[in-house]
Amino acid sequence: MTIKDVNIISKSFKYLIDNLHIRSSVSRNIFLMQKFNTDKVNINESLNKIEFILSKIKEDKSIINKISLKFLKLRDIKGTIKNLSDNRVLDDIELFEIKSFAILATEINELCNSANIDIFDIPSLKKVVEILDPDGSNIPMFYVYDSYSEELANVRKQIKDATKDKNKNLEEELRYKADEIEDEIRAKLSNKLSKYVNDIKTSFINIINLDITIAKANQAYELNLCKPIISDDNNDVAEYKQMFNPVIAENLQKNAQKYQPIDITLTNSPCVITGANMSGKTVVLKTIGLIQYLTQFGMYVPAKYAKVVLVDE
């Protein structure tokens, strides 16, 4: 089961996911395909990273906002990275994608370093930028620059002269020669970039992870969610204090009403919840299910305290 599947069957879960402000579409797509997690170590690692970012938000939200805005520029370059991994010669669009990403990764890296955010490894891609930006413009565009080849620069100058003199035969011959030189340059650039493909791939994956983690931390901050404690024993009790349903709580708040938080402890023995019709029994069960899902997808939960026992499905 993935987040996308739960999104379909649970309104409360869908509400939280829809209001999770992941900035990049590629990050959101990867997040939605995340699988239901039963690995306690892995879940705790995700929760600890949210806790770290949450501490940074409380310390200085502006720096987190600056980093978060950078994710809006993140594009899906998985295909280009694969082509580079397969030692293919990249075309101008793919070289543009690598250059733009390398510039973006460098900017994100510098912001993270300034705020001492080191929960994800984002290798420096300054060498990649230098390869694709010989003129040092630091502009996210790609062109086979004259700087790459003195011969190419001379041929291009000759093309201008031939065009000016309306010598079409010479112009066509020179353009063919320029194309050959440009193809050679693309091949050389692709070969140079292949040495950094692992760094590019790691940066891409971890910038996506950072985007998702910051979104989770921001939601935890805005909705006052808590970090769930995962039980060491599958036979242990599950305990929830001041648990609330975020959808109902928001609807009540709109009508100037207050949600009544709930405390409940569940053991291995059967638990019977009683009460009058429309008193909230079903809401309690759905909220417990919501907390279970959120925990096992590595997210904070709607409660003051939550001790959760992991389940296989």
CA dist 190 and 94 (Å) reads 10
Instruction: For residue 38, give the nearest of 214, 240, 210, 230 by alpha carbon.
Output: 230
Task: List the 262-266 sheet strands across, edge first.
Answer: 229-230, 305-308, 238-243, 262-266
For 109-129, b/e burial (b = at least 16 CB within 10 A) is bebbeebebebbebbbbeebb
What are 52-86's pLDDT values in tens digits?
999 999 999 999 999 999 999 999 999 999 999 99
What are 106-156's pLDDT values in tens digits?
999 999 999 999 999 999 999 999 999 999 988 989 989 999 999 999 999
Which structure tokens are listed for 147? 């700087």
Instruction: For residue 102, give the nearest of 30, 214, 199, 186 by alpha carbon.
Output: 199
pLDDT of residue 80: 98
Give the pTM: 0.92
Local structure of 240: helix, strand or coil? strand
pLDDT of residue 68: 96
pLDDT beneath 70: ranges in the chain:
279
% of the chain exceeding 70 in pLDDT: 100
pLDDT of residue 260: 87
pLDDT of residue 176: 95
Q: Is the dihedral of CA 259, 19, 303, 217 positive or negative?
A: negative
Instruction: For residue 246, give the nearest of 187, 297, 293 by alpha carbon.
Output: 293
82 touches 97 (CB < 8 A): no
pLDDT of residue 174: 94
The 3-class secondary structure across 125-191, one letter per residue, is CHHHHHHHCCCCCCCCCCCCCHHHCHHHHHHHHHHHHHHHCCCHHHHHHHHHHHHHHHHHHHHHHHH
Which structure tokens are listed for 310? 């992991």
The 3-class secondary structure across 49-69, one letter per residue, is HHHHHHHHHHHCHHHHHHHHH
CA dist 225 and 16 (Å) reads 11
pLDDT of residue 54: 97
